Amino acid sequence: MLELLLVLAIGTGLGSWVVPIDWARPATAVHAVAGVAIVLLAPLKIKGPVRSGFRRGRPGRWLSVGFGVAVVAAVALGIAHATGAWYGVGTWSALWLHLLAGFSTIPLLLWHVGSRPVRPAAVDVGRRAVLSAATVAAGATALVIGKELTVTAIGAPGARRAGTGSHEVASFDPAALPVVSWFDDRTPATATETVTIAGRPVEPATIAAATSVLTATLDCTGGWRSTQDWDAVPLAHMLRRAAEVDGRRPGRSVRVISATGYSRLFALGDLEHVHLCTGYGGEPLRPGHGGPVRLVAPGRRGPWWVKWVVRVEVSDRPAWLQLPLPPT
Ligand SMILES: Nc1nc2c(c(=O)[nH]1)N[C@H]1C(S)=C(S)[C@@H](COP(=O)(O)O)O[C@H]1N2
Ligand SMILES: [Mo]
């Protein structure tokens, strides 16, 4: 059961990144309940199999210990982030450490399941198992609800989190907006001079002239979100303009490419809701924030908000035919 809960916790954790922002709350809620259920079950495990494993001096028992430590650390860090009790130190944010601990359980989990002497048998799914699973689920749910009520009652920072679990940071204050990359992208040394849209070079100033103010929230998978007044124009609008000039065929999707090579595909039907952006709060985008031109993609998580856009090209590949999160 512990193993299944861990799979559920990892699945819902990653799932909350991938789904549209409006659908994230159920994923984060189940994620929290699964984490707390793991902690509820852990003492049983330590009393039983872990102890006897130690007495018998089973090989790999230190890996078991590592597995346990990683699981407990992941849950503790998750709670620290969720309540806002501890944000971490510098780049080592509580959520980032939570992910590190959580992901490190995956190889350990595979090893653990692969090497354990007793295979789960059909008897496992008897009446007693169902009852105890229901008890653990109810207990964990009650604890999570209790935590939410407490956090709200005492006005802890965790009370103001979004459904995605992100804390609000630097809203309407572009100067304080964090500068973040998905993996290792760096701000290009030279600013983009033209953005190629469907084969046609367009100057950032031309894009800026077509924008209007759009209030939208950037919600990073790193645990923060920030609302800004962006100067934005729908991609659909800019593409229509390009099509008027050279009458291109439509294709299946549009790929938005960064100067760094980072890119994302968008379905043609979504292009009214994905915007090219040149400024925020009445000033041009800073280089770190993707200037001169970035994407603003309301309702989608940070990885979709491609920075340093150099090219927008029509593609024959359907948008669903890409990894749900960028590979680099
Ligand atoms: N080219 C490029 N664009 C990118 C990324 C990246 O790594 N490379 N990271 C994305 C992620 S994960 C986030 S949260 C936002 C961060 O935008 P900010 O630095 O303006 O806060 O940029 C997005 N756009
Ligand atoms: Mo992010």
Ligand 2 centroid – CA 221 distance (Å): 5
Q: Is the CB of 262 under 6 A from ligand 1?
A: yes
Whether 292 and 274 have beta carbons less than 8 Å apart is answered as: no
149 ligand 1 Cβ < 6 A = no
Least confident of 16-25, 242-251, 300-309: 242-251
Residue, of 157 and 308, whose pLDDT is higher: 308
| Cα 224 to averaged position of ligand 2 atoms, centre (Å) | 8
The mean per-residue pLDDT over the stretch 55-60 comes to 66
Q: 176 CA distance to ligand 1 centroid (A)?
A: 15
User: At what angle are helices 24-45 and 127-153 packed, to 10 degrees?
Assistant: 120
Beta carbon of 178 within 6 Å of any ligand 1 atom: yes
Q: Is 185 in the pocket of ligand 1 (CB under 6 A)?
A: yes
How far apart (Å, rounded) are the C-alpha atoms in residues 90 and 171?
Answer: 20
Q: In 10 A of CB 241, how many CB atoms? A: 16
Task: Identify which of 171, 220, 275, 289 to mutate to test ligand 1's pocket (most ligand atoms within 8 A of the CB).
Answer: 220
Q: Is the pLDDT of residue 121 over 60?
A: no
Domains and CATH numbers, the chain: 2-162 (no CATH), 169-315 (3.90.420.10)
Q: How many whole angstroms from 180 Cα to the centroid of ligand 1?
A: 5
Query: What mean pLDDT is predicted for residues 136-144?
Result: 93
Task: Provide the strand spans (E) within the chain.
Answer: 88-89, 92-93, 167-168, 195-197, 200-202, 212-219, 224-234, 253-258, 263-267, 275-280, 283-284, 294-296, 309-315
> Who's near 240: CB < 8 A, 6+ residues apart?
none
Q: Which residues surround ligand 2, an ion (CB under 5 A)?
A: 180, 220-221, 302
Ligand (nearest to CA of 303) = 1
Give tens-digit pLDDT for 215-248: 999 999 999 999 999 999 999 999 988 776 555 6
What's the confidence (pLDDT) of residue 259? Answer: 98
**The pLDDT value given to residue 97:** 94
Q: How many CB atoms are located within 10 Å of the residue 189 CB?
A: 7
| Ligand 1 pocket test, candidate residues 186, 305, 308, 310, most atoms within 8 A of CB | 305
Q: Is the pLDDT of residue 55 over 70?
A: no
Query: How far from the centroid of its chain's Cα atoms is residue 146's Cα?
Result: 25
Region 155-171: mean pLDDT is 90
Q: What is the average per-residue pLDDT within 71-84?
A: 92
Q: How confident is the model at residue 190 (pLDDT cuts 50, 70, 90)?
A: very high
Please choose from 93, 177, 182 the residue to mutate so as to test ligand 1's pocket, defined by most ligand atoms within 8 A of CB: 182
Residue 307, ligand 1, Cβ within 6 A: yes
pLDDT of residue 48: 64
Task: Give the Å distances, CA to CA, from 47 to 43, 53, 128, 264.
Answer: 6, 10, 19, 49
Contact between 5 and 41 (Cβ < 8 Å): yes
- Taking the whole predicted model, whether its pTM rises above 0.75 is answered as yes
**Distance, CA of 281 to CA of 187 (rounded, Å):** 21
Task: Report CA(240)–ligand 1 centroid distance (Å).
Answer: 26
> Sorting pLDDT into bands at 50, 70 and 90, what band is 123?
low
Q: Are 188 and 288 in contact (CB under 8 A)?
A: no
pLDDT, residue 96, reads 92
292: cis peptide before it, omega within 30°?
yes
Q: Beta-carbon neighbour count of residue 137 at 10 Å? A: 16
Confidence of residue 130 (pLDDT cuts 50, 70, 90): confident
Does ligand 1 have an atom closer than 6 angstroms to the CB of 48? no
Supply the pLDDT for residue 43.
74
DSSP assignments along 7-69, one per residue: HHHHHHHHHHHHS-GGGHHHHHHHHHHHHHHHHHHHHHHIIIIIHHHHHTT-TTHHHHHHHHH
Residues 6+ apart with CB under 8 A from 321: 265
CB 252 within 8 A of CB 315: yes
Ligand 1 contact, 258 CB (< 6 A): yes
Distance CA 168, CA 219 (A): 9
Cβ–ligand 1 distance for 224 under 6 Å, the answer no
Q: How far is the CA of 17 from the centre of ligand 2 (A)?
A: 10
